[in-house]
Structures are given as structure tokens and as C-alpha cells.
Amino acid sequence: MSNNKKNWYQRHIDSMNFGQRLADSVAAGMGSWRFIIIQTIIVALWMALNVVAFVGHWDPYPYILLNLLFSTQAAYAAPIIMMAQNRQNERDRAQANEDFRTNVEAKKEIEELQLRLNAIEVDKLDKILALLEKMDKE
């Protein structure tokens, strides 16, 4: 498919590099109920296993290791989500520009149609006037 036949969204997707695609997919995954449910299950298991472990509590209450893991996750998640949001802003701008271009083209076409309709109206009126003059002469 040539670049001319692609819409703005396909051109935008094609222009993204691997890191941008990865950031978008990570942000989409982290912003889902699936992620929240899986993370909740992992946290509940982590706490339960540390509470019932007979030997080797690897992270006893107040779960400092778990807190460190969450902090690390947040440190990486925030910039990844920000990158994805920035790209969403770029997509929104591209869509707005495309919408504006389409609206300008549509406005030009409507104005051309109005001119044609006006010309047809004037032509009809001229013909009617000519017929009336012809009837008056008879």
C-alpha cells in the first residue's frame, strides 16, 4: 500500500519505532483491569505466603521488599505511561489536522455547489423571463 493511500493513523503507526510501540503496549496493559486483578492476586499471595510460612519469611510484615518492588514498578511505569500519553497527544493533533483539512475541502466543495446551484437558478429565471416576454408579445 503506497503512502498516499494510507490514512493519518496508519502513517502514524508506521512511523513509530520499537520503543514507542513497546511503551504503548505496556501502558495499555498497565491501564487494564486484567493488570489490576493479576497484581492484586500476586500481592495477596505474597502476603499470605509470608504470614503462613513456617520457615524463611523472606519479607515479613511490613513487607518492605514488596514495597520496594512497588516503588521500582512505579518508577518505570510513570515515564512509560507519560511517553504513551505524549504519543496520544501527537495522534490527537494529527487527527485534528486531518479533520481540519477534510473540513476545508468539504467547505470548498459546498461553495462550488452553491455557485452551480445559483447559476442554475439564474438560468431558470432568465428562461422564465424570456417565456413571459414572449407571452406578452403574443
Chunked into runs of 10 residues, the chain (138 residues) has average pLDDT values of 69 83 86 93 90 78 90 92 88 90 96 96 92 85
> In the chain, how many domains are there?
1
- The model scores a pTM over 0.85: no
Three-class SS state of 63: coil
Integer Cα distance of 6 and 14 in angstroms: 10
Domain of 80, in residue numbers: 3-137
